[in-house]
Amino acid sequence: MGGSSNKVESFPDANDLESATPAMQPMEIHRVSLPQKKTTFQSLKQSLSEVFFPDDPFHQFKNQSFFRKLVLGLQYFFPIFHWGSEYNLQLLKSDAISGLTIASLAIPQGISYAKLANLPPIIGLYSSFVPPLIYSVLGSSRDLAVGPVSIASLVMGSMLRERVSPEHEPTLYIQLAFTATFFAGVFQASLGFLRLGFIVDFLSKPTLIGFMGGAAVIVSLQQLKGLLGIVHFTTKMGFIPVMLSVFKHRTEWAWQTILMGTSFLGFLLITRHISSRKPKLFWVSAAAPLASVILSTVISFVCKAQNHGISVIGHLQEGVNPPSVNMLYFHGSFLGLAIKTGIVTGILSLTEGIAVGRTFASIKNYQIDGNKEMMAIGIMNMAGSCASCYVTTGSFSRSAVNYNAGSKTAVSNIVMASAVLVTMLFLMPLFYHTPNVILSAIIITAVIGLIDFHAVIRLWKVDKLDFLACISAFFGVLFISVQMGLAIAVGISMLKILIHVTRPNIVIKGVVPGTHNYRDLVHYKEAIRVPPFLILGVESPIYFANSMYLQERILRWVREEDERVAKMNQSSIKCIILDMSAVTAIDTSGMETLAELKKILDKRSVEFVLANPVASVTEKLCKSVIWEQFGSECVYMTVAEAIAAISSSYKGQI
């Protein structure tokens, strides 16, 4: 009742209803008519179509010849056939520049992220070659730059390392990484094929902001091992174990490594700042990682860094991706670990990839098919697992560089993959003297962008529950574990949904003077009550989960209104109007609740009517006993018409 007591002086007199508001003036009354009857098959088909095919992907095949359907089918499943027929040299020029630009970023990042996943650096380059080629054929985004990403690499590395040591059992560890990638691809492709992409949406944006921020902090802290030159370091991912390990091994800190690491880290952060302040200089931060690798390698070679305690990458295998089908692990005691790791990393990489694709698609005013993207990313990872690649997706940083560099189509991924191929065939010996500390600096620079302080501040200002979800996920990652942080993020997202479903918002509405509009009394200070009516608005679907709460809340409104009008010496409530304009769905439990409410209110001599039900709700009401119990005369198209019709019958009674 809070917020509405200051309107008491504005209440219209019950004996002068017709002049209180324009809503009381004579108007043509329209009843809600019975909807057109549908067969069970038609109703089921419509429901399933809205759930699984909301974009109606097959409408373009209607009334087409067989040959045309074949062409459209190829374009639908292989988007490269859609834009490939219009490709020209001008587009190739733009894509070539973009591809070479993101290659300069992808090569050092690929090596660094493989280290983050506790995998040999060469696997990071393998993962930057095959997956982009596959995505360029199957993917629908023009700007998505594919390759390894920091969060998925971190999660895979932490989950597998809990049971298998990459130092003591390197072969088994690599087998499990490839197997986890395979199952990630199967999971992703299955979601797309079965059109279940909405499952990924259960990870809300606030929880992802918190999770990715916490993971970014953990990733950065883990790189202190490389920046400080520590040899013996904890394998745990929590904030406390990492910091204890850092200060426990202070005797291992090497000033040479610290000097080189902090110098290049400062250089990378400065270039990042320059590019963020002046977007036209995006190439400065894009080229900085490769420039750092080249310069540090030269310094390491000239100064013989190994002799001064600075560790280097060492020998990297030359050549293209070797097959890894024989390394997939489909039996044994670690199969469950591989499946679990695959599903978790699959969800994270899928969420990131689709989010990035949709972001740049909206900027360039084109659409991508979420389900097709899932299948493309899934098939890409399944094929990659057979070609010595670990889990990949669209990268935030590389896609931003790709977009700023002027990419036009997915050919930029092909150019990038070609540059990586040249590197693997001819340039691998050049990385022998590359210091490991540079990889740590590159990782820190890349993940810092995942900490979005401005988004957290906005959450605090706009929605405290979203802020709580964000902070809980952040601290869950930071102080418990990455997996637990993700579990907390999912749990809070589900809890938020349950809160909104089980406790729908119900408001008292009043009329805005001079109009036929009825608005929430709390939010619209100019709105006034219309005695002897109690106008309630339900702002949620009515389901089994909230129907009892709805009944109890409405009856409590009635009791509170009775107490209020008694104190104000006004007429008691004669009618309750339930505005259902925001009720998008109703089930059998909800309908039974409405029927029960009418029985209870009838015994109190209070009329109960419905106003403005949407089509799908009206259709269900007509098929139930509700329609017989309420009758068409108790269901109105608008609140104004309900008041106009009912108030005329009250003349002389109030």
Q: Which of 74-78, 112-116, 430-434, 513-517 has the lowest mean pLDDT?
A: 74-78
CB hemisphere CA count around 438 (13 angstroms):
27
**Tokens representing 433?**
């003297």
Using the predicted structure, report yes or no on whether residue 454 has a pLDDT greater than 60: yes
Identity of the highest mean pLDDT range in 39-48, 62-71, 114-123, 356-365: 114-123
Whole-angstrom Cα distance, residue 314 to residue 302? 15
What pLDDT sits at residue 18?
A: 44
Confidence of residue 395 (pLDDT cuts 50, 70, 90): confident
User: If you average pLDDT over residues 145-170, what whole number do you get?
Assistant: 91
What pLDDT sits at residue 292?
A: 93
Element at 575 (helix H, strand E): strand 575-579
Confidence of residue 540 (pLDDT cuts 50, 70, 90): confident
What pLDDT sits at residue 263?
A: 94
Whole-angstrom Cα distance, residue 591 to residue 623? 10
Q: What secondary structure letter does DSSP report for 325?
A: G
Confidence of residue 61 (pLDDT cuts 50, 70, 90): low
Q: Which of 64-73, 240-249, 513-522, 550-559 has the lowest mean pLDDT?
A: 64-73
Whole-angstrom Cα distance, residue 329 to residue 341? 13
Q: Higher pLDDT residue, 130 or 232?
A: 130
What pLDDT sits at residue 169?
A: 93
Residue type, 624: S
What pLDDT sits at residue 50?
A: 52
User: If you average pLDDT over residues 586-615, what whole number do you get?
Assistant: 89
Using the predicted structure, report yes or no on whether residue 11 has a pLDDT greater than 80: no
User: If you average pLDDT over residues 552-564, what whole number do you get?
Assistant: 88
Element at 518 (helix H, strand E): strand 518-520
Whole-angstrom Cα distance, residue 649 to residue 466? 47
Instruction: Give, in order, the Cα–Cα distances in Å from 270 to each of 117, 267, 276, 508.
Output: 27, 5, 10, 55
Whole-angstrom Cα distance, residue 594 to residue 629? 10
Q: How far from the centroid of its chain's Cα atoms is residue 9's Cα?
A: 48
Is the Cβ–Cβ distance between 12 and 532 less than 8 Å? Answer: no
Residue ranges of domains in the chain, CATH in brackets = 5-30+503-649 (3.30.750.24), 96-223+235-271+281-305+325-452 (no CATH)
Mean pLDDT computed over every residue of the chain? 84
Is the Cβ–Cβ distance between 534 and 577 less than 8 Å? Answer: yes
Whole-angstrom Cα distance, residue 217 to residue 223? 10
User: If you average pLDDT over residues 609-634, what whole number do you get?
Assistant: 79
What pLDDT sits at residue 531?
A: 83
For 304-339, write each residue's pLDDT tens digit: 888 877 888 888 888 999 999 999 999 889 999 999
Confidence of residue 565 (pLDDT cuts 50, 70, 90): confident
Using the predicted structure, report yes or no on whether residue 41 has a pLDDT greater than 60: no
Q: Cα angle vertex 630, ends 628, 633, to 5°?
A: 105
What pLDDT sits at residue 632?
A: 64
Q: CA nearest 106: which of 431, 419, 447, 448?
A: 419
What pLDDT sits at residue 21?
A: 45
User: If you average pLDDT over residues 524-536, what whole number do you get?
Assistant: 88
Q: What percent of the chain has pLDDT over 70?
A: 87
What pLDDT sits at residue 40?
A: 57
Whole-angstrom Cα distance, residue 568 to residue 417? 77
What pLDDT sits at residue 27?
A: 57
Q: Higher pLDDT residue, 345 or 516?
A: 345
Confidence of residue 204 (pLDDT cuts 50, 70, 90): confident
What pLDDT sits at residue 59?
A: 59
Confidence of residue 49 (pLDDT cuts 50, 70, 90): low
Using the predicted structure, report yes or no on whether residue 411 has a pLDDT greater than 90: yes
Q: Which of 191-205, 370-384, 542-556 has the lowest mean pLDDT?
A: 191-205
Q: Which of 14-18, 158-162, 167-171 has the lowest mean pLDDT?
A: 14-18
Q: Higher pLDDT residue, 40 or 466?
A: 466
Using the predicted structure, report yes or no on whether residue 45 has a pLDDT greater than 70: no
Q: What percent of the chain has pLDDT over 90?
A: 30
Q: In what order do the strands lie in the sheet with 575-579?
A: 518-520, 506-511, 533-538, 575-579, 607-611, 635-636
What pLDDT sits at residue 366?
A: 82
Q: Higher pLDDT residue, 494 or 435?
A: 435
CB hemisphere CA count around 463 (13 angstroms):
9
What pLDDT sits at residue 37?
A: 61
Helix/strand/coil percentages in the chain, nearest 5: 65, 5, 30
User: If you average pLDDT over residues 637-650, what whole number do you get?
Assistant: 82
